[in-house]
Amino acid sequence: MKRTLILGGLSAGLLASAVVAAPAQAAGDVASDSLANTNLAAQQVAAFWYGEAKANLIGATPYDVETQVVGKHVSTGGPTADTKPGIVPAIGDEKKTTSVSKNVNLPKTSGKVFFIGADGQPHWCTGTSLQSSYKNLVATAGHCVYDTASNKATLDKWVFIPGYYQGKTPWGIYVGKQAFTHYDFDVYEDGDRNYAFVNVYNGVLPVAGGTDVDWVSKPYPTKALAEKAKAELEAKKETGYSKLEIIEYIDHWKIVPVGSPESKKVEVSHWKFKNVPGQNDDPKTTTFVSGLGVNETFISQAEFRSPPGTQNDGDSYWLNDGKTFVYSKQINGSWKYIKRTFWINYDLDYKVKGIVLSIGLKDVGRLGDNVGGQGLAYNQKVGQSVYVFGYPSGKHPDGNHAFTGHTLKWTYGKTFAAKASDIKAEEIIGVKSSFTGEGSLGSSWLSQYKSARRLGYLNGVTIGVADTDKNNRYDTSVSPYFDGETYGVYKVAAALWSGKIV
């Protein structure tokens, strides 16, 4: 179902979303959540998108999440500055590279963010590289990071790919580490705060002939639980894992009674057998504490005499394996020859076994060093000119399919104050734009953009589109107004180091 936006008193379609998951509080009005918080997890995410000949990248569809917006708390007063106007300067791509982008004369900072949606399928939005202390920051719409459809904290397997073009990753894949947004968006679904800043690890590119790495999960007490864990990994299309199987794991620290469920008899040495508390030492006459026992078979005299280890034709000896005891005794007046092996009944657990990484990865450095980073402008006057850069896709209401989402597009116009009927926001701005909503969510609004440097100041991100004149063609994009609170969220995110994953 399409949401409704009213701009200038006219009704139009809108892509909107909300979050109800409780955030981890970072500082003041800033909420923060982990994405891939370990190197291994980040490697698995990169392998997922590079795996299977990049089928997940090429097969991803534009994100069009649409959920109800519940207005428990919204900002008021229209798009007005809350402090003095401010800017953060942009950074250039100081690291020279031979990579060639298909987006000639367009910002190298723009790209696609990919993730797994609530439907378990790969999707994408638009994102942009932003100036930060460690040159590792991406800006996009809040609902392109936070899972507003299933009310989970964050979307799975989140990555940024600058200069993305039909499966190509000219400057590598940058896996998200930590996401930041305003507390009011993370908790109250405030559309005025529908933006997010994500710290990413250094970029990685695939290495031909990557080495498989064995992986075994933690032990699960029952096979059913292990099967469930295996199924969950497979359902997530976790191509970082492959060749998954269930293997037995014997808990050698836990002896259980014979007949216990999820248990197994394991043949052991006599030394281990006799050292169980309460067990006696005589291999002929041993009595058993609970969970211990022997396998006993009759053998021929020839078999009794043939193995090495006999003691001058004595009546008992140990085989060289240290586990098998052979002896003779009279039974009903006849000599019998007997072989004994000893076992302990251990608790049986299960693990999921497979391959962690089926593709090699190499580090290609920090995001800002490779493509630069846009500056940030906040508390700016409404009415300034902005370029909007994004990957629009999908159809207009009249069915016209103007954009494919394969390449970066741009529009240009002056911002104006906007009002929305079905999104709880009172401080949003609009710009005339023919972008369709799918794919363009998260598009960067750049003021004072200089084509020679391909840099400007980020002053908005697309959170929805509208048809304001009711001609069945989208003509307007909307964004939160960037104010001092936006800068406060940015400032926390911009100070976080992320590092390498390989």
Q: Are strands 137-140 and 122-130 parallel, antiparallel or unpaired?
A: antiparallel
The confidence score (pLDDT) of residue 10 equals 29
Question: Where exactly are the structural domains of the chain?
Answer: 3-96+108-210+357-494, 214-354
> Cα–Cα–Cα angle for 180, 186, 190, nearest 5°?
115
Task: Look at residue 1 in the predicted model and tell me its pLDDT.
Answer: 28
Distance of CA 155 to the CA centre of its chain: 7
Record the tokens describing residue 54, joined without a space. 């990049």
Beta carbons within 8 Å of 207's beta carbon, 6+ residues apart: 359, 360, 361, 362
* Separation CA 486–CA 483 (nearest Å): 5
- Residue 502: what residue type? V
Predicted local confidence at residue 51, as pLDDT: 76
Q: Which two tokens stand for residue 500?
A: 């390498």
**pTM for the model:** 0.69
Which candidate, 174, 195, 200, places its Cα nearest to that of 185? 195
Q: What is the pLDDT of residues 360-371, one digit of tens each?
A: 889 999 999 999
The 3-state DSSP class for residue 424 equals: coil
- Ranking 219-223, 235-239, 379-383, 473-477 by mean pLDDT, the lowest is 235-239
Mode of pairing for the β-strands spanning 122-130 and 61-62: parallel
Nearest to 241 by CA among 354, 332, 322, 137: 354
Inter-residue contact 481 to 153 (CB < 8 Å): no
The predicted pLDDT at position 421 comes to 63
Over residues 98-128, the pLDDT tens digits come to: 444 444 379 999 999 999 988 888 999 999 9
- Looking only at the bridges linking them, the beta strands covering 156-162 and 203-207 are unpaired
Query: In whole angstroms, what is the distance from residue 2 CA to residue 436 CA?
Result: 13
Q: How far apart are CA 315 and CA 337, in angstroms?
A: 9
Q: What is the 3-state secondary structure (H, E, C) of 435-496?
A: CCCCCCCCCEEEEEEECCCCEEEEEEECCEEECCCCCCCCCEEEEECCCHHHHHHHHHHHCC
pLDDT in tens, 417-443: 987 666 767 789 999 999 988 889 999
List, for residues 121-165, the tens digit of each pLDDT value: 899 999 999 999 999 999 999 999 998 777 667 899 999 999 998
Q: Whose structure tokens read 């023919």?
A: 434
pLDDT recorded at residue 266: 92
pLDDT in tens, 291-349: 888 888 998 888 887 765 555 456 788 887 778 888 888 888 888 889 988 899 999 99
Per residue in 450-483, pLDDT (tens digit) is: 988 899 999 999 998 888 888 888 889 999 999 9
Distance of alpha carbon 209 from alpha carbon 229, whole angstroms? 29
